[in-house]
Structure 1
């Protein structure tokens, strides 16, 4: 039987292995200075090169970090005007290839732009003007700045749950992903994306996010490093253990209902609008003893969450609002029970969300809102 590591060991393991996954990086970028103009013939100096960030596939922030340890990206300078070439050539642009899903911000946190699809381009430093008559033939310097690349995984669905709820096992039986699996908390130490494949070749991407712990919104455990990846998913899949959850012997045992509410609380404290995302509740490990009785109790408690929250949880752990689940789906990642039904419901639920985002539905919602005003 696998021994459960103590919390100190777990923290060291998390920090060590998380180092292989980089989801933010700071870079220095400098555009090129323009070229000198030629006063006696009225020549124009070349424009300094620009620096662009470009989204591409099969790229990671870690690869950028490893390939460019100095994290400096400089564009070319513009050529001086000359007798042979009165208009100097422009400096060469510099492209920084980044993964899809990156948000680019200034060093002070102001958003410059998002790169959400392959081929998206964003200028992050503009080249200086070449010298001309209007500038006494003197060029201007290119823009220089510190920028931050912040990766938020883009997936259709996001698996969210406390450690050892069985998210990785579930992703394995649902998709083509092969995450590390073991019978102790914090097995998943970096986000993993799997693809659900259907007979008609439809694909749905699912991100398995490392297990939250109470206090994740305050950066306990891996905190914001993982919660931020929930933001760009269309749909949440909350996964709970039908027999409840206890992180370690010195921490409180949480029932399945309490686990649902504490997950809700963590999402709410990180970013309140996350609680309003459409969601399915997946009750895993239905092969365990007393699973049916626990499931029925959970369903009853979810019908009156305010009452049971007041009864079971301290006031400071009760979420302001309660998540509404389209379905409560019992499964066993071990035996395969309920997995085919879950796969079907995932597709059906995502289609509902996509349909609500089409133009006719947007117009209908706008009309209803206008009438209410």
Structure 2
């Protein structure tokens, strides 16, 4: 396993991290289709991940209505020091009007609830799960800063925010000398490269880690699906859920999948392993979050850390999946060379 720095913290995290959306929720209407692993299965998955060198584990309070955190807490209780533990808050955790969001009231309640479920006295990376259009960022960041100063949280991060929202938050934190986001968890894959427009350059400019969720586009890039909805594995999450968890152009997706399979055959590995290795080769990516119901699936995903794609592989995958350049990027790019005197060009 290889390790990369978490933002500018000096903390090393594994470039493959373990996601826990498959933990718990056997009778849950949504998470029951994600995996619904019980404690024994969770123990095996977590143990396998830790033994393989993974030290970064991500969960969220909303996963299976808190059961994921409870199962994970039990699984790591004897190896807590081996884990950089991340969880998230924001989504509804009850029927009340204050049982969700990013108000100080809910942040403090959600933090205490997650600490209790995880069986720990601190969370290493506490992330807001989405943007709260009602609560001012100043209130949220002040509450998170208090949690850091109290020692209940080591670092803070965000997920699913736009680049301008993260930049605004960083500015507020700097103005008030508060804890700043050190990481951004975003959706990114060969069929969903939107993050490259603004989030990737923003992360590089601000020194934020970029951690990736759904690197296989909800299982599509596993290569188990063909045109017309035919699948080689009816038990896959994408088949069981019955809808596309992440939206993308499916026809273009199959074009990407054709090239992905060609590259995978060249290396004699699975398409999923290549898709994850491609992400690890992208600038700004710190860690790719993988989730699994089966140990063999987890082992294959972890092995992506040892797969080095050739320049030919990367060029082919980039060509078939590349986004059109958006405004204002294309016009900024057209002007950029004119600012460099001819004698100074490399």
Give the TM-score normalised by structure 1.
Answer: 0.29
Flag the structure with higher helix content: 2
Flag the structure with higher strand content: 1
User: Which of the two has higher C-alpha Rg?
Assistant: 1
Q: Which has the higher contact order (CA 8 A, sep 6+)?
A: 2
Give the TM-score normalised by structure 2.
Answer: 0.31
